[in-house]
């Protein structure tokens, strides 16, 4: 048995240049197009040029037959460090922590991390049927198609196990819609009331329309670079206090009631030097509200099964006492494929660098971002999280 | 409560017949073993064969998820478990399910370890102890369905279960050969299973045969003119009845003892091929397209094509060597028919029968298959939704040996001792 060693901190490395494209319901453009759009925006906002990018990290489902390699030639990048992150909703913090080590160790000076996908009229259905081998063999043939079935089942279990009602989930969805109304890139433009939430069209019991994200096209990007370079160039930036990542945790659980965060939060907060109570805002992965509740529990905000009660007396909006998914999250901004794994992180960078504009949380200094991805069969396999701290 | 199946009304010729759609047929090659075992209605999972492991895997893997060994062995295992979560699908990205909503699915925690996602019978509810069955769906691939532990009243009428079976209830059957000594037993068992009509094909109606009066006496049986060796006869009947056949049972058979050298000429061999091989081809060319077009046609949709084959289609029985060869050809053709029918969802069922209790097998020692046993097993297989059925002790014995080693079986069947 080999004991894990204490990890090095991310001293001297910062994250900067958050970029988000507007999201579109359907697009005739390709993933390459969307990725280029976010990348250009990010690089430009830092006052850099493409030739300054010597590290490149990509997350996307719809690049086929290309990978990050094909993109270098397509986009004319000449990186000396290249990564492809197939972690879906967990890809943001995972891309960040890899890039941070590359910069820290000198393998690259500026890493551009980008996630994006297109959404053609029939691409979502096609993507679902070939998503993973286990999904193809053992979940897709059962009717719901894609993650709706898995999340319906675990939402059903969660509700009965912990006595949670649909209104509890509704609180999350309604507050995120409020936040999305401040985000001009979001696809959802109309307010959502609790009544409308509860009256949402049935999808797969107990999941209804407003529990589900809308697949869209879009892209998100950020840069990871040396702190001295960011300071010298006057680029707004944030420190990386801690990150974690875990895959296929708790495989022995008969149905997913917790994610890999639970295995690693002591290390997360240990490295950051503070607990969950010290963060100013939280960005969770929110493809369905039940998974938001699991993150609240597994990230230590409350005990297992207590999330509904925890949020009951909290205001989750931008101006509330517990700002959560401040750009509207995927539930209201849309799920742009793998960019759904970046949306919370990119928004968190804006928040702690004070550049969030209309969604800015007052005095936001510390943000916790968590990712959850890849419903490989019956549960999400990848989990990740990162704590960012602004420079005062 | 199961909603009792309603006898379908007469078809309205003005209404467009629903075009068949299928659930997803994509599977990994490892998962095809689930389909192979579903064909016989078995519930098998991979178990790690490492002595200190024994971990049960699901979904199908190529290496053990506990110890990384590649020694995964498919084994019959307990299919019992607890239904821990359920959902009712109201809308789906898949057309097949979209047309059949609401559709129930669930998570069953098996007592042997893994959790599985499965279809649900209407009689099971969350928290119930259930048993899973492994069956082929309309795409011809394996799926799991949770049934109650105790058989429910009208259990077979459940819509989701009926999608996986070929239950003859309220369906119309064509039996191709009235002269086969099994025709009466088949018709009788099918009528008892609740079919709407049984058409029985009769060649050369002027030539008498023992069971004719008995067949005619059965309420619901209609004798129709059909000679599987005559292309125009087959086409004529298909023209008249093609749109009314929901299950076709090809029991036409020509059998004589003998192999190659004892016969002296090929005339019996040609008769065997005419009936056993070309007969199937003629029937398929005439009836299969209409059946394929009606596979999503409600309660009495076209659902199965049954070939009654000899188990010696798998390995030669030299005493009936030429007959065996014609059945090997028919068996191969049935596989081709399966491939051609898979896009329609109509199942091609092969019944592998041991030596039957009839005049041509008279000198053979027992065990032989009586017509009543064949008929009972065939109907049971349709109700259970099987694709491969082995009838009689000899057929089951040959199956086991064939699965173990076709070559060892050949050595056994062709040894001096066997002759
Ligand atoms: Zn093992």
The reply to whether B122 falls in a domain is yes
- For residue range A242-278, list pLDDT tens digits in order: 999 999 999 999 999 999 999 999 999 999 999 999 9
Residue whose C-alpha is closest to residue A237's, from A113, A99, A354: A354
**Closest CA–CA distance from residue A376 to any residue of chain B (Å):** 11
Count of domains forming chain A: 2
DSSP collapsed to 3 states, B303-345: CEEEEEEEHHHCCCCHHHHHHHHHHHHHHHHHHHHHHHHCCCC
Residue of B27, B58, B85 to mutate, testing the A interface (most A Cβ within 10 Å of its Cβ): B85
Examine the domain organization and report whether A71 and A164 are in the same domain: no
Backbone torsions φ then ψ of A154, nearest 5 degrees: -80, -25
Examine the domain organization and report whether B150 and B184 are in the same domain: no
Examine the domain organization and report whether B225 and B157 are in the same domain: no
Examine the domain organization and report whether A269 and A206 are in the same domain: yes
Residues A132-140, mean pLDDT to the nearest whole number: 92
Q: In tens digits, what is the pLDDT along chain B, a chain of 419 residues?
A: 788 998 888 888 888 888 899 999 999 999 999 999 999 999 999 999 999 999 999 999 999 999 999 999 999 999 999 999 999 999 988 899 999 999 999 999 999 999 999 999 999 999 999 999 999 999 999 999 999 999 999 999 999 999 999 999 999 999 999 999 999 999 999 999 999 999 999 999 899 998 999 999 999 999 999 999 999 999 999 999 989 999 999 999 999 999 999 988 999 999 999 999 999 999 999 999 999 999 998 888 999 999 999 999 999 999 999 999 999 999 999 999 999 999 999 999 999 999 998 888 888 888 899 999 999 999 999 999 999 999 999 999 999 999 999 999 999 999 987 76
**Closest CA–CA distance from residue B67 to any residue of chain A (Å):** 14
Which chain A residue shows the shortest CA-CA distance from B103?
Answer: A143
B92 touches chain A (CB under 8 A): yes
Chain B CB contacts of A130 under 8 Å are 26
CB contact under 8 A, B87 and A152: yes
Examine the domain organization and report whether A37 and A157 are in the same domain: no
Examine the domain organization and report whether B155 and B176 are in the same domain: no
Q: In whole angstroms, give the CA distance from residue A239 to residue A299.
A: 20
Q: Nearest Cβ partner of A137 from B59, B91, B109?
A: B59
- For residue range A298-330, list pLDDT tens digits in order: 999 999 999 999 999 999 999 999 999 999 999
Examine the domain organization and report whether A150 and A97 are in the same domain: no
Which pair of tokens denotes residue A328?
Answer: 């509207």
User: Which of B117, B142, B162 is at the close of a domain?
Assistant: B162
Examine the domain organization and report whether B249 and B338 are in the same domain: yes
- For residue range A189-204, list pLDDT tens digits in order: 999 999 999 999 999 9
**Which pLDDT score, from 0 to 100, does residue A105 have?**
97
Examine the domain organization and report whether A321 and A176 are in the same domain: yes
H helices within A105-226, ranges in order?
123-129, 133-138, 147-162, 166-180, 194-198
Examine the domain organization and report whether B225 and B320 are in the same domain: yes
**Which pLDDT score, from 0 to 100, does residue B115 have?**
97
Examine the domain organization and report whether A306 and A160 are in the same domain: yes
- For residue range A24-72, list pLDDT tens digits in order: 999 999 999 999 999 999 999 999 999 999 999 999 999 999 999 999 9
The reply to whether B12 falls in a domain is no
Q: Would the pLDDT of A9 be above 80? A: yes
Examine the domain organization and report whether A37 and A140 are in the same domain: no
Task: Quote the DSSP letter at residue B277.
Answer: I
Q: In whole angstroms, give the CA distance from residue B257 to residue B263.
A: 9
The reply to whether A318 falls in a domain is yes
CATH number of the domain enclosing A136: 3.40.47.10
The reply to whether B341 falls in a domain is yes
Examine the domain organization and report whether A110 and A227 are in the same domain: yes
- For residue range A224-233, list pLDDT tens digits in order: 999 999 999 9
Tell me the pLDDT of chain A averaged across its residues: 95
Examine the domain organization and report whether B301 and B224 are in the same domain: yes
CB contact under 8 A, A138 and B31: yes
User: Which of B109, B135, B162 is at the close of a domain?
Assistant: B162
User: Which of A233, A262, A285 is at the close of a domain?
Assistant: A233
Confidence band, pLDDT 50/70/90 cuts, at residue A241? very high
Note the residue count of chain A: 392
**Which pLDDT score, from 0 to 100, does residue A61 have?**
93
**Which pLDDT score, from 0 to 100, does residue A163 have?**
97
The reply to whether A7 falls in a domain is no
CB contact under 8 A, B87 and A157: no
**Which pLDDT score, from 0 to 100, does residue A129 have?**
64
Asked if residue A98 lies in contact with residue A59, where contact means CB atoms within 8 angstroms, the answer is no
Task: Quote the DSSP letter at residue B274.
Answer: I
* Full residue range of the structural domain in which residue A244 is found: 132-212+239-390
Q: Nearest Cβ partner of A144 from B34, B84, B89?
A: B89
CB contact under 8 A, B31 and A137: yes
Count of domains forming chain B: 2
**Closest CA–CA distance from residue B138 to any residue of chain A (Å):** 11
Examine the domain organization and report whether B134 and B204 are in the same domain: no
What is the side-by-side strand order in the sheet with B72-76? B56-57, B44-48, B72-76
User: Which of A175, A202, A233 is at the close of a domain?
Assistant: A233
**Which pLDDT score, from 0 to 100, does residue B395 have?**
97
Collapsing DSSP to helix, strand or coil, B48 comes out as strand
Examine the domain organization and report whether A145 and A194 are in the same domain: yes
The reply to whether A4 falls in a domain is no
Residues A79-84, mean pLDDT to the nearest whole number: 98
Element (H, E) at B35: helix B32-38
Examine the domain organization and report whether B130 and B180 are in the same domain: no
The reply to whether A138 falls in a domain is yes
Chain B CB contacts of A251 under 8 Å are 65
Examine the domain organization and report whether A223 and A92 are in the same domain: yes
Examine the domain organization and report whether A94 and A177 are in the same domain: no
Scanning A84-123 for CB atoms below 8 A from B yields none
The reply to whether A2 falls in a domain is no
**Closest CA–CA distance from residue B60 to any residue of chain A (Å):** 8
**Closest CA–CA distance from residue A241 to any residue of chain B (Å):** 34
**Which pLDDT score, from 0 to 100, does residue A122 have?**
76
Residue whose C-alpha is closest to residue A223's, from A386, A352, A46: A46
**Which pLDDT score, from 0 to 100, does residue A128 have?**
66
Residues A73-80, mean pLDDT to the nearest whole number: 97
A142 touches chain B (CB under 8 A): yes
Confidence band, pLDDT 50/70/90 cuts, at residue A100? very high
**Closest CA–CA distance from residue A146 to any residue of chain B (Å):** 8
B95 touches chain A (CB under 8 A): no
B27 touches chain A (CB under 8 A): yes
Q: In whole angstroms, give the CA distance from residue B316 to residue B333.
A: 17
CATH number of the domain enclosing B401: 3.40.50.720
Examine the domain organization and report whether B176 and B158 are in the same domain: no
The reply to whether B239 falls in a domain is yes
User: Which of B99, B129, B162 is at the close of a domain?
Assistant: B162
What is the side-by-side strand order in the sheet with B304-310? B221-225, B197-202, B172-175, B247-250, B304-310, B347-353, B388-391
Distance B65 CA to ligand 1 centre (A): 7
Q: Would the pLDDT of A126 be above 70? A: no
Residue of A141, A201, A253 to mutate, testing the B interface (most B Cβ within 10 Å of its Cβ): A141
Examine the domain organization and report whether B287 and B349 are in the same domain: yes
Which chain B residue shows the shortest CA-CA distance from A155?
Answer: B85
A164 touches chain B (CB under 8 A): no
* Full residue range of the structural domain in which residue B45 is found: 32-162
Confidence band, pLDDT 50/70/90 cuts, at residue A131? confident
CA distances from A274 to A310, A344, A390, B265 (A): 20, 21, 15, 94
Examine the domain organization and report whether B203 and B112 are in the same domain: no
Tally of CB atoms within 10 A around A343: 31
Residue whose C-alpha is closest to residue A225's, from A10, A9, A1: A10
The reply to whether B277 falls in a domain is yes
Q: Is B394 left (phi over 0), alpha (psi -120 to 50) or beta?
A: alpha
B270 touches chain A (CB under 8 A): no
Examine the domain organization and report whether B219 and B135 are in the same domain: no
Examine the domain organization and report whether A118 and A161 are in the same domain: no
Q: Using CA of residue A330, residue A336, residue A337, residue A341, what is the dihedral sign?
A: negative
Q: In whole angstroms, give the CA distance from residue A234 to residue A157.
A: 50
The reply to whether A337 falls in a domain is yes
């Amino acid at each position: 048995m080999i004991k894990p060693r204490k990890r090095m901190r991310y001293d001297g490395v910062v994250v900067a240049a958050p970029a988000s494209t507007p999201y579109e319901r359907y697009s005739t453009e390709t993933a390459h197009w969307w990725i280029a759009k976010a990348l250009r925006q990010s690089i430009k906002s830092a006052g850099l040029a493409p030739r300054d990018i010597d590290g490149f990290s990509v997350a996307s489902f719809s690049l086929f037959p290309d990978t990050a390699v094909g993109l270098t030639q397509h986009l004319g990048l000449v990186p000396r460090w290249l990564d492809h992150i197939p972690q879906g909703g967990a890809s943001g913090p995972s891309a960040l922590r890899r890039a941070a080590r590359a910069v820290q160790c000198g393998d690259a000076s500026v890493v551009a991390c980008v996630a994006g996908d297109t959404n053609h009229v029939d691409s979502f259905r096609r993507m679902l049927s070939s998503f993973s081998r286990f999904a193809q063999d053992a979940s897709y043939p059962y009717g719901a198609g894609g993650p709706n079935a898995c999340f319906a089942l675990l939402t059903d279990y969660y509700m009965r196990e912990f006595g949670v009602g649909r209104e509890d989930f509704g609180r999350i969805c309604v507050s995120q819609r409020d936040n999305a109304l401040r985000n001009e890139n979001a696809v959802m433009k109309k307010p959502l009331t609790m009544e409308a939430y509860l009256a949402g069209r049935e999808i797969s019991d107990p999941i209804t329309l407003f529990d589900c994200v809308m697949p869209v096209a879009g892209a998100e990007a950020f840069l990871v670079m040396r702190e001295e370079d960011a300071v010298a160039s006057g680029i707004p930036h944030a420190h990386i206090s801690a990150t974690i990542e875990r895959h296929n945790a708790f495989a022995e659980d008969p149905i997913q009631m917790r994610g890999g965060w639970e295995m690693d939060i002591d290390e997360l907060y240990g490295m950051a030097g503070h607990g969950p109570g010290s963060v100013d805002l939280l960005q969770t992965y929110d493809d369905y509200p039940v998974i938001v509740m699991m993150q609240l529990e597994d990230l230590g905000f409350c005990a297992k099964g207590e999330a509904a009660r925890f949020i009951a007396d909290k205001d989750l909006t931008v101006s509330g006492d517990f700002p959560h998914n401040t750009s509207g999250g995927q539930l209201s901004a849309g799920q742009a494929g793998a960019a759904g794994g970046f949306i919370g992180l990119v928004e968190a960078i804006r928040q702690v660098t004070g550049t969030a504009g209309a969604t800015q949380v007052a005095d936001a200094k510390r943000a916790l971002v968590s990712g959850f991805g890849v419903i490989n069969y019956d549960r999400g396999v990848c989990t990740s999280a990162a704590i960012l701290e602004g420079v005062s | 409560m199961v909603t009792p199946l309603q006898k379908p009304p007469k078809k309205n010729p003005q209404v467009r017949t629903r075009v068949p759609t299928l659930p997803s047929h994509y599977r990994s090659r490892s998962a095809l073993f689930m389909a192979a075992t579903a064909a016989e209605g078995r519930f098998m999972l991979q178990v790690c064969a490492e002595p200190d492991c024994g971990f049960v895997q699901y979904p199908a893997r190529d290496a053990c998820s506990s110890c990384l060994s590649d020694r995964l062995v498919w084994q019959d295992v307990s299919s019992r478990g607890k239904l821990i979560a359920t959902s009712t699908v109201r809308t789906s990205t898949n057309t097949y399910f979209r047309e059949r909503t609401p559709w129930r699915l669930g998570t069953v925690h098996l007592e042997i370890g893994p959790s599985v996602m499965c279809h649900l019978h209407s009689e099971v509810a969350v928290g119930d102890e259930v048993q899973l069955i492994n069956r082929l769906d309309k795409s011809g691939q394996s799926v799991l369905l949770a049934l109650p532990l105790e058989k429910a009243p009208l259990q077979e009428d459940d819509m989701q279960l009926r999608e996986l079976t070929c239950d003859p209830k309220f369906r119309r059957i064509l039996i191709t050969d009235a002269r086969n000594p099994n025709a009466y037993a088949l018709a009788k068992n099918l009528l008892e299973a609740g079919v709407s009509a049984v058409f029985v094909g009769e060649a050369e109606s002027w030539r008498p045969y023992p069971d004719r009066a008995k067949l005619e006496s059965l309420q619901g049986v209609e004798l129709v003119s059909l000679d599987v060796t005559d292309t125009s006869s087959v086409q004529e009947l298909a023209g008249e009845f093609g749109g009314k056949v929901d299950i076709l049972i090809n029991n036409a058979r020509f059998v004589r003892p003998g192999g190659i050298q004892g016969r002296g000429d090929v005339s019996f061999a040609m008769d065997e091929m005419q009936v056993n091989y070309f007969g199937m081809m003629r029937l398929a060319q005439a009836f299969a397209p209409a059946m394929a077009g009606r596979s999503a046609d409600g309660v009495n949709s076209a659902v199965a094509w049954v070939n009654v084959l000899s188990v010696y289609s798998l390995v030669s029985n030299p005493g009936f060597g030429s007959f065996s060869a014609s059945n090997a050809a028919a068996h191969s053709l049935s596989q081709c028919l399966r491939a051609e029918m898979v896009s329609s969802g109509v199942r091609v069922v092969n019944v592998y029968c041991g030596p039957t209790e009839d005049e041509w097998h008279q000198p053979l020692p027992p065990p032989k298959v009586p017509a009543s046993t064949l008929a009972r097993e065939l109907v049971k297989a349709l109700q259970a939704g099987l694709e491969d059925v082995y009838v009689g002790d000899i057929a089951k014995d040959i199956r086991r040996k064939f699965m173990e080693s076709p070559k060892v079986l050949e050595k056994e069947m062709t040894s001096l001792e066997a002759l």
